[in-house]
Amino acid sequence: MTKVRIRLSGEKPVDLDNVVNQIKDLARMLNMKFVGPVRMPRRTLLIACRRTPCGDGSDTYERWEKRVSKRLCEVEGDEKYIKQILRIKVPTNVFVKVSLS
């Protein structure tokens, strides 16, 4: 039995949930042990910069933020079934990190 920990991260939580649901459905079909999804803390990246590039004028700033959501799930089963799970099509805005143990 091989245990796989899958970490998903992306800007849109809906896309993350769709990928997790695909993994969950496939794990149920193949009678594998599935744990998750565990919602990890959302990371917020903040950037503030001046509006005028030359520095003249009033001190006005623009503020942007980017929110990164994360999910964690674990799958345990045979290697041939785990290979099928790793072949799932993932959208381009979702990043996947897989660790085997």
pTM above 0.85? no
CA distance 81 to 50: 52
CATH architecture observed for domain 2-42+69-100: 2-Layer Sandwich (3.30)
User: Is pLDDT at 57 greater than 80 in this prediction?
Assistant: no
More confidently predicted of 2 and 44: 44
Q: Is 64 left (phi over 0), alpha (psi -120 to 50) or beta?
A: beta
Q: How far apart are CA 94 and CA 63, in angstroms?
A: 24
Mean pLDDT of 88-97: 93
